[in-house]
Amino acid sequence: MGGSNPIAVVDLFAGPGGLGEGFSALKIHGRGRPFRIAVSVEKEPHAHRTLRLRSFFRFYDASGRSVPKAYTQVLRGEISPEELESKCQTAWSHAEAEAFRGELGIQGDDERLDAILESKKLHKDKTPVVLIGGPPCQAYSLVGRARNRGIASYRPENDNRHHLYQEYLRVLSRVWPVAFVMENVKGILSSSVGDRRIFPRILDDLHDPGAAIGEISRPNPSRTYRLLPLVWNDVSESRLFQVDTSDPKSFLIRCENHGVPQRRHRVFIVGLRNDIACDLPRLRSAQAQVTVRDAIQGLPRLGPGLSKRSGSRKSVQSVLREEMSSKLVAEIRRMHGVEIAERCESIRDRMECVDMSTGGEFVPSDSVRSENPELDAWYGGSDLGGVCNHAAKSHMPSDLARYLFCSSFGETFGRSPKLEDFPDALLPNHMNARPGDGSEAIFSDRFKVQLWDQPSATVTSHLAKDGHYFIHPDPSQCRSFTVREAARVQTFPDNYFFCGPRTAQYQQVGNAVPPLIAKRIAQCVFEGLKAAGL
């Protein structure tokens, strides 16, 4: 980086590219963009299409050239991403070379990736490289582990997902990057294989990856890594931080403290090769938390759709009137008072007079601006003439009333209701929804409204299945989050298009690293490497 050329980035387990987007988006005054994506690796076909399309965009954007009209046509749904090949052959060829579809740990794919790394001189110190990415997290996540405990035959030591980080080690020991960033879920801190916690083992392996996979028998200073957290903890405020594996939470980043409108807690391990003489600055906390209102209020308002599974041919308005009946409104009034009851009734009646769009892959709009200046500049969607990936989910009739109740409750009381707050008519048809013994219901926050003036809950891939945990805070919209709203909470720019069916789009967004936190991490890595003269 001491010269004019940006440093190459290899992105493993890239998903739709959130971590890579943050690194590639970093701009330094007077130096341009210090990082460029050399290759990103993803096995899932829809996420790979998203990566390839974004690489096409960066071909122009990173060099300061005007992005062709054809890219906007893709966002507006006028042409498919694949039609760019005939319209912009050079950029498309670049995108296909950068976005590699393959599965790490599969011999043929590993060999193809190794050939790419060699052809681009991204191996064995041929050129400075930063390696980023994180192995799939389902086996580490708290929810995933709870689900696995219900499977009698499940054994964590036999779950290949626990060991996918070894594929990260293999590429690490082949490339020997000057620095790496490895991301994973909070649950990795407490995950065990057999009777041994896995996180201390991962730290040991990342310190000396060659030895961990049996390629190097003795430590070599230029082949080992110092592992650094990016946030200050209570143990030390020294710039030179010695890793204490008894305090693994020092690697935990709370994204809501760093400008992301989401309570997303993730583990980030940063490694600096031991022959690189520098340290990293820590992440600076934001002065104030960014909220759901900052993220999504400027997007076009949408109404809900009705699920085909319901079999109803009635309009949303007539269904909502039936579900939010006068009897139910009276029960809400008895339980929670006049204000929330009148709010539910007023919204129900008002929706009868408004025929709201349910959105689509592109929704025209004169303005999609955020009132938060930093976020507005980051989203940068004002020149699109609308917003993409913004289609409302279709819901069951009974859920419309639940969503209206939840969002009205959130506006009235400043919190999301628990099942114990629900009128009986709105309770889901589960025996444990209201236990007779007086104990709290299992999954008592099964229906959760996101609140305007707080960061959102953690966006997950479960949004692809239902939207119960991401009810829109505006009662008059009476629905769950769209892909674009989830993407804004995840801090993806508005011109970041997610390919594939809507289910795949939700999965991509939920599994991604927020690009804005990735950019802040990239800033720390840049400053450290700059201090080392790279």
Strand, helix or coil for residue 395 = strand
Structure tokens at 362: 């592109």
pLDDT for res 222: 72
Amino acid at 496: Y
Distance CA 182, CA 132 (A): 6
Which candidate, 323, 359, 309, 325, places its Cα nearest to that of 481? 359
pLDDT for res 219: 63
| pLDDT one-digit tens code per residue, 421-473 | 999 999 987 645 555 555 555 567 789 999 999 999 999 999 998 889 999 99
Regarding predicted confidence, which is higher, 271 or 198?
271
Which candidate, 343, 390, 385, places its Cα nearest to that of 509? 390
Task: Give the mean model confidence (pLDDT) for residues 471-481.
Answer: 96
Which candidate, 301, 265, 294, places its Cα nearest to that of 491? 294
Structure tokens at 130: 């930063």
- Residue 262 gets which letter from DSSP? B
pLDDT for res 239: 40
pLDDT for res 161: 45
- Residue 61 gets which letter from DSSP? H
Which candidate, 274, 181, 272, places its Cα nearest to that of 222? 274
Place of tokens 């999504």: 296
φ/ψ (deg, to 5) at 300: -55, 140
Q: Residues in the chain, how many?
A: 534
DSSP labels, 201-252 = HHHHHHHSHHHHTTS-SS--GGG-EEEE-SS--SS---SS----TT-GGGGE
* Band of pLDDT at residue 245, cut at 50, 70 and 90: low
Q: Where are the beta strands (DSSP E) in 112-193?
A: 129-133, 179-185, 192-193
pLDDT for res 148: 43
pLDDT for res 179: 95
Structure tokens at 246: 């008894």
Task: Give the mean model confidence (pLDDT) for residues 118-127.
Answer: 80
Structure tokens at 98: 């950068």
> Which of 77-81, 354-358, 426-430 holds the top average pLDDT?
77-81
Structure tokens at 2: 């001491």
φ/ψ (deg, to 5) at 500: 95, 180
**Is pLDDT at 85 greater than 90 in this prediction?**
yes
Please state, rounded to an integer, the average pLDDT across all residues of the chain.
87
Amino acid at 383: D
Task: Give the mean model confidence (pLDDT) for residues 84-95.
Answer: 96
pLDDT for res 195: 77
φ/ψ (deg, to 5) at 456: -75, 170
Distance CA 227, CA 229 (A): 7
| CB-CB neighbours of 249 under 10 Å | 13
Can you say how many angstroms the Cα of residue 362 is from the centroid of all Cα atoms in its chain? 21
Q: How far is CA 258 from CA 293, 369, 388, 444, in A?
A: 17, 21, 26, 29
Domains of the chain: 7-290+513-531 (3.40.50.150), 292-511 (no CATH)
Amino acid at 135: P
**Is pLDDT at 528 greater than 90 in this prediction?**
yes
pLDDT for res 430: 62
Please report, rounded to a whole number, the percentage of residues in the chain having pLDDT higher than 70: 86
Sorted by sequence, the CB contacts under 8 Å of residue 373 that are 6+ apart come out as: none
φ/ψ (deg, to 5) at 214: 80, 15
pLDDT for res 151: 45
Q: How far is CA 523 from CA 230, 284, 446, 452, in A?
A: 11, 11, 38, 30
| CB-CB neighbours of 30 under 10 Å | 5
Amino acid at 176: W
The strand pair at 359-364 and 386-391 is best described as: antiparallel
pLDDT for res 351: 81
pLDDT for res 157: 45
Instruction: Give the lowest-confidence range in 235-249, 278-292, 370-384.
Output: 235-249
pLDDT for res 92: 97
Does this model's pTM top 0.85? My answer is yes
Span between the terminal Cα atoms of the chain, in Å? 5
pLDDT for res 158: 47
| pLDDT one-digit tens code per residue, 138-163 | 445 444 434 444 445 434 444 444 46
- Residue 470 gets which letter from DSSP? S
* Band of pLDDT at residue 383, cut at 50, 70 and 90: confident
